[in-house]
Structure 1
Amino acid sequence: MAAVKGVALVTGASRGLGAVIAERLARDGWAVAVNYRSDAEGARRLTERIRAAGAPAEAFAADVTDEAQVSDLVGRVTERLGPVRVLVLNATGPQPSVAFEDLTWDTHLDQLRFFVKSPTLLVQAALPGMKAGGGGRVIQIGSDIVDRLVPGMSAYAAAKAAQLGLTRAWARELGAHGVTVNLVAPGWIPVERHSGASDEELDSYRSDVPLGRMGTPEDVAAAVSYLASDAAGFVTGQTVTVNGGHTLGDI
Structure 2
Amino acid sequence: MIIDLTNKTALITGATGQLGRVMARTLAKCGANIAIHYNSNQTQALELEAEIQAYGSRTIIVKADITSYDSIIAMKNKINEELGAVDIVVANAVIQYQWTSILEQAPEDYESQFDSCVMQNVYLAKAFAPAMIDQKWGRFIGINTECVMQNFPTQSAYVAGKRGMDGVYRVLAKEIGEHQITVNQVAPGWTISERDRTEHTEENASYEKSVPLKRRGTDQEIANAVAFLASELASFITGAYIPVSGGNVMPSI
Equivalent in the alignment of 1:92: 94
Distance 1:96 1:127 in 2: 33
Unaligned runs of at least 5 residues, structure 2: none
Equivalent in the alignment of 1:5: 7
Cα RMSD, aligned residues only: 2.3
Distance 1:85 1:181 in 2: 12
Deviations 1:51-75 (A, max 9, x none): 1111111111111111111000011
Deviations 1:204-241 (A, max 9, x none): 11222111211111011010001000111111000110
Q: Could you tell me whether the CA contact under 8 Å between 1:15 and 1:43 is conserved in 2?
A: no
Q: Could you tell me whether the CA contact under 8 Å between 1:148 and 1:250 is conserved in 2?
A: no
Cα drift, residue 37 of structure 1: 0.5
Deviations 1:114-146 (A, max 9, x none): 100111101110112111222200000000101
Equivalent in the alignment of 2:218: 216
Distance 2:78 2:15 in 1: 16
Unaligned runs of at least 5 residues, structure 1: none
Classify 1:102/1:28 alpha carbon distance in 2 versus 1 (closer, same or farther; 3 Å): same
Q: TM-score, normalised by structure 2?
A: 0.92
Q: How many residues align?
A: 250
Distance 1:45 1:36 in 2: 12
Classify 1:131/1:248 alpha carbon distance in 2 versus 1 (closer, same or farther; 3 Å): closer
Distance 2:58 2:203 in 1: 39
Q: Which amino acid aligns with 1:44?
A: L
Secondary structure in 2 matching 1:84 = coil
Equivalent in the alignment of 1:159: 161
Deviations 1:5-37 (A, max 9, x none): 221000000131111001111111110100000
Distance 1:198 1:250 in 2: 35
Q: Could you tell me whether the CA contact under 8 Å between 2:34 and 2:58 is conserved in 1?
A: yes
1:71 to 66, 70, 73: 73
Distance 2:77 2:128 in 1: 9
Equivalent in the alignment of 1:207: 209
Cα drift, residue 200 of structure 1: 10
